[in-house]
């Protein structure tokens, strides 16, 4: 087992390096750089060139990639943001935490609701409930989640226009007088602001996860060992719970890793719409400002997160599935 | 075909079993597809949507870039079918008058019921800016049209109020922040939103098949490099990679046709990996089959084996992956344009229209200006119908997924 983990970890390194190199190449392929915006400075015509030298932007892009890689690996230093002049790590960490505050409850909730739904639909295949759930998941798959977030936002604004009090907040993560609250009230306030975004992210991933779960459960139910279990006279319940569900859950563990990218991306657009102070709004503004180190750091961290998520779900699968032995 | 003719000549009726055996892939697929009522309905709805997009200039009452700064966020025009006396009449509309509430500085729209403006069908608009290039011709690039000297134009619109001075206008879905007709914009936007998915998935599948085919057929270091590359590409979260890719071209301020191609390329760069992996697996298994080995033993060249023996096997696969990928790309384009990195004004797409809704959603609620959210419904319908059609096609072409 330990050997397997070590091998997998070593396998991650080339992927990580190629992925970051790719990302770096893409970012650098954009014409101009951060200093371009100062190119037509009336007072100081050399300003752009000076800034370029100061930030090291005058060197070849692959040279800067090597510098960047060295700093990340040796010092865990992602560079300095060009717009805010702050360390990228210091800039990103609090936003990362905010994103997690949204992402983790939404993921847990999505799986907690989707798994029972998927199992139920599979066990009652083609029943009325299954057909209804199928229709709902078809509808759910077709709604863009930024649109859903937009509807939520507009709804809460409308509610406020009409009743002059907020049912759910119209965006952001905290109320304006947040700092004057006590610690308990602060947590409650964030929780209240979470309601809308979490519902949207959960709803948008619900359809997908429950579909996968239903498919896997059906796959397991059509296996020979289920027929054997039935034919030797086991109760329906024992067959479903002991023989089928246990095997279908394995697949869910495997797909948690695979659904993470979709969840992160989905939460990203919801963050942008609802003004949740997570990483996506920063990512968008950094892209427009060509603040390459911030963009690069975010891409790197997200990539790393996904790779580790995949690894963990593979490991969990190897732990609980007796058929997988390394 | 041959057998059927022989049967006719000898006067024998072909046995039912023989006919089924001789059925081609498309015949079987069509028979299977007909069993899906949902997929057929989806096909009809999609057909209507594509027709509307194609003839957008004709169906929309006003030209594509028609804006009116004095009529921003005008509410939808109500078409009356019942006259004041309570009897059915030819549909007519009332004009809207804008006044400004001096307390809140919001525009207040009141209905001017003094004159009835009957709806007219097949209206010609006479202004020089109202001329448009009709459908099949507008697919030819402008430069080519100029070189060839094709300059047809039309002024006919499906409906309108026939008011040349445009004092009274018909906006079935109101106007947006620029005073443009949302109903018309939905159809002009559909031109981009509905084609991006198809084109991007075709490009992605082409790249994926080429790369996957190379990896599977040659193996060795080519296989290793391509696989590594695909793995690295899929390690970066899609949305963020897509945004970064589109950001390359953002500072260039490209003309809208080029920007359209950039979006297609960006989307397909994100998506080809999946196809490449699947094709690689297929080729690996096909390469070992008897017919490939036989062809090789007969001295067939690699090119011949690939084009005559391997590629025809993948037709079903292409159709199935197309139908899976198209809705995904349609959504991705809308997200991209919504973030401001996709289609740029004055071109429009549904995602871009929603980004207007986003910038005003914080000020006005859902009920006050509901019509600016309609592009979201359009995206929803397009993705839903493509998904349904995809399900039908999958069942039609994939024997394993049939019930």
Q: Please, what are the averages of pLDDT over each run of 10 residues along chain A (326 residues)?
A: 81 86 84 72 73 74 83 80 81 89 89 88 86 86 88 85 79 75 82 87 86 84 85 83 79 75 84 88 87 87 85 80 68
State the pLDDT at residue B385. Answer: 93
**Do B207 and B195 touch, CB atoms closer than 8 A?**
no
Number of H helices and E strands in chain A, helices first, is 12, 0
State the pLDDT at residue B44. Answer: 93
Interface mutation target, options B36, B197, B224, B240, chain A, most CBs of A under 10 Å = B240
**3-state SS, residue A306:** helix
Q: How far apart are CA B76 and CA B186, in angstroms?
A: 14
Residues of chain A with Cβ-Cβ distance to B357 below 8 Å are 150, 154
Q: Do residue B373 and residue A269 have CB atoms under 8 angstroms apart?
A: no
Q: How far apart are CA B38 and CA B394, in angstroms?
A: 13
Quote the minimal CA–CA distance from B365 to chain A in Å. Answer: 4
Quote the minimal CA–CA distance from A257 to chain B in Å. Answer: 11
Sign of the CA dihedral B133, B137, B139, B145? negative
Q: Which residue of B has its CA nearest to A215?
A: B401
Residues in chain B: 403
CB atoms within 10 A of CB A53: 13
ipTM of the complex: 0.85
**3-state SS, residue A76:** coil
Q: H or E element: which one contains A49?
A: helix A47-54
Question: Any residues with CB less than 8 A from the CB of A92 and at least 6 apart, and which?
Answer: A78, A279, A282, A294, A297, A298, A301
**Do B226 and B233 touch, CB atoms closer than 8 A?**
no
Encode chain B in three state secondary structure. Answer: CHHHHHHHHHCCCCCHHHHHHHCCHHHHHHHHHCCCHHHHHHHHHHHHHHHHHHCHHHHCCCCCCCCCHHHCCCCCCCCEEECCCCCEEEEEEEEEEEEECCCCCCEEEEEEEEEEEECEEEEECCCHHHCECCHHHHCCCHHHHHHHCCCCCECEEEEECCCCCCCCCCCCCCECCCCCEHHHHHHHHHHHHHHHHHHHHHHHHHHHHHHHHHHHHHCHHHHHHHHHHHHHHHHCCHHHHHHHHHHHHHHHCCCHHHHHHHHHHHHHHHHHHHHHHHHHHHHHHHHCCHHHHHHHHCCCCHHHHHHHHHHHHHHHHHHHHHHHHHHHHHHHHHHHHHCCCCCCCCCCCHHHHHHHHHHHHCCCCCCCCHHHHHHHHHHHHHHHHHHHHHHHHHHHHCHHHCC
**3-state SS, residue A45:** coil
Instruction: For residue B361, give both structure tokens.
Output: 């959603």
Tell me if chain B has a CB within 8 Å of the CB of A229.
no
**Do A115 and A213 touch, CB atoms closer than 8 A?**
yes
Q: Do residue B236 and residue A19 have CB atoms under 8 angstroms apart?
A: yes
Q: Do residue A147 and residue B380 have CB atoms under 8 angstroms apart?
A: yes
Instruction: For residue A6, give both structure tokens.
Output: 């070590």
Question: Any residues with CB less than 8 A from the CB of B259 and at least 6 apart, and which?
Answer: B249, B342, B343, B344, B347
Quote the minimal CA–CA distance from A28 to chain B in Å. Answer: 8
State the pLDDT at residue B326. Answer: 92
State the pLDDT at residue B144. Answer: 84
Backbone dihedral angles phi then psi of residue B120, each to the nearest 5 degrees: -115, 145
State the pLDDT at residue B9. Answer: 44
Which tens digit of pLDDT belongs to each residue from B69-114? 888 888 888 888 888 788 888 888 888 888 888 887 778 888 888 8
DSSP letters, A236-297, are HHHIIIIIIIHHHHHHHHHHHHHHHHHHHHHHHHHHHHHT--SHHHHHHHHHHHT-HHHHHH
- Mean pLDDT, chain B cut into blocks of 10 residues (403 residues total): 44 45 73 83 93 90 84 86 83 85 81 84 81 81 82 83 77 87 92 92 92 85 89 86 85 81 90 88 82 86 80 78 89 90 87 87 73 91 91 78 55
Q: Do residue B237 and residue A303 have CB atoms under 8 angstroms apart?
A: yes
Residues of chain B with Cβ-Cβ distance to A143 below 8 Å are 376, 380
DSSP secondary structure letter of residue A43: S
Which among B331, B365, B383 is the nearest to A158, CB-wise? B365
Which among A15, A31, A288 is the nearest to B252, CB-wise? A31
Question: Any residues with CB less than 8 A from the CB of B386 and at least 6 apart, and which?
Answer: B42, B46, B197, B323, B326, B327, B330
Residue at token pair 């409930």: A129
Which tens digit of pLDDT belongs to each residue from B214-270? 888 888 898 889 988 898 888 888 888 888 888 888 777 788 888 888 899 999 988
**Whole-number mean pLDDT of chain A?**
83
């Amino acid at each position: 087992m330990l050997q397997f983990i070590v091998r997998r970890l070593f396998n991650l390194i080339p992927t990580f390096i190629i992925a970051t190199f790719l990302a770096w190449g893409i970012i650098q392929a954009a014409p101009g750089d951060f200093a371009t915006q100062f190119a037509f400075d009336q007072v100081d015509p050399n300003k752009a060139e000076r800034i370029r030298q100061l930030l090291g932007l005058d060197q070849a892009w692959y040279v800067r990639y090597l510098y960047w890689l060295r700093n990340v690996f040796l010092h865990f230093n992602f560079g300095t943001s060009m717009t805010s002049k702050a360390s990228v790590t210091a800039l990103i960490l609090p936003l990362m935490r905010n994103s997690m505050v949204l992402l983790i409850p939404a993921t847990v909730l999505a799986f907690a609701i989707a798994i029972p739904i998927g199992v139920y639909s599979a066990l009652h295949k083609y029943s009325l409930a299954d057909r209804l759930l199928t229709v709902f998941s078809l509808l759910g798959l077709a709604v863009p989640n930024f649109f859903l977030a937009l509807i939520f936002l507009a709804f809460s604004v409308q509610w406020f226009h009409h009743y002059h009090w907020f049912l759910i907040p119209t965006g952001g993560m905290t109320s304006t007088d947040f700092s004057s609250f006590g610690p308990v009230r602060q947590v409650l306030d964030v929780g209240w602001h979470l309601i809308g975004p979490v519902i949207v992210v959960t709803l948008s991933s619900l359809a997908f996860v429950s579909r996968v779960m239903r498919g896997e459960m059906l796959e397991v139910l059509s296996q020979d060992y289920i027929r054997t279990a039935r034919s030797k006279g086991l109760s329906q319940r024992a067959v479903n719970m002991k023989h089928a569900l246990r095997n279908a859950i394995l697949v869910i563990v495997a797909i948690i890793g695979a659904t993470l990218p979709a969840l992160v991306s989905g939460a990203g657009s919801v963050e942008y719409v609802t003004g949740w102070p997570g990483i996506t709004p920063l990512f968008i503004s950094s892209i427009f400002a060509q603040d390459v180190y911030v963009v690069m750091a975010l891409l790197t961290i997200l990539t790393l997160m996904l790779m580790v998520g995949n690894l963990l779900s593979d490991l969990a699968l190897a732990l609980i599935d007796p058929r997988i032995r390394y | 075909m041959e057998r059927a003719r022989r049967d006719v000549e000898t006067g024998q009726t072909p046995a039912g079993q023989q006919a089924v055996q001789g059925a081609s892939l498309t015949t079987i697929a069509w028979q299977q597809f007909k069993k899906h009522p949902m997929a057929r309905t989806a096909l009809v709805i999609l057909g209507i949507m594509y027709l509307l997009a194609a003839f957008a200039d004709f169906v929309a009452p006003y030209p594509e870039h028609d804006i009116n700064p004095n009529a921003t966020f005008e509410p939808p025009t109500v078409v009356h079918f019942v006259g004041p006396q309570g009897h059915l009449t030819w549909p007519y509309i009332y004009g809207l008058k804008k006044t400004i509430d001096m307390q809140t500085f919001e525009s207040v729209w009141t209905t001017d019921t003094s004159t009835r403006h009957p709806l007219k069908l097949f209206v010609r608009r006479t202004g020089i800016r109202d001329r448009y290039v009709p459908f099949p011709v507008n697919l030819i690039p402008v430069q080519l049209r100029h070189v060839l000297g094709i300059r047809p134009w039309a002024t006919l619109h499906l409906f309108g109020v026939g008011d040349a001075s445009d004092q009274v206008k018909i906006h079935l879905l109101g106007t947006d922040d620029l005073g443009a007709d949302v109903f018309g914009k939905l159809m002009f936007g559909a031109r981009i939103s509905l084609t991006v998915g198809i084109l991007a998935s075709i490009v992605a599948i082409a790249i994926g098949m080429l790369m996957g085919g190379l990896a599977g057929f040659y193996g060795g270091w080519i296989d290793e490099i391509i696989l590594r590359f695909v793995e690295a590409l899929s390690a970066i979260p899609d949305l963020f990679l897509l945004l970064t890719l589109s950001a390359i071209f953002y500072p260039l301020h490209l003309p809208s046709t080029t920007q359209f191609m950039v979006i297609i390329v960006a989307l397909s760069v994100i998506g080809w990996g999946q196809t490449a992996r699947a094709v690689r697996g297929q080729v690996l298994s096909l390469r070992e089959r008897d017919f490939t080995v036989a062809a090789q033993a007969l001295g067939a060249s690699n090119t011949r084996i690939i084009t005559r023996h391997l590629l025809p096997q993948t037709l079903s696969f292409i159709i199935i992956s197309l139908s899976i990928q198209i809705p995904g790309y349609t959504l991705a384009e809308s997200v991209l344009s919504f973030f401001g990195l996709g289609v740029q004004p004055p071109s429009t797409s549904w995602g871009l229209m929603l980004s207007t809704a986003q910038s005003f959603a914080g000020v006005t609620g859902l009920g006050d200006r509901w019509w600016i959210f309609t592009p979201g419904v359009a995206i929803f319908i397009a993705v839903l119908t493509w998904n349904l059609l995809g399900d039908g096609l999958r069942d039609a072409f994939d024997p394993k997924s049939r019930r």
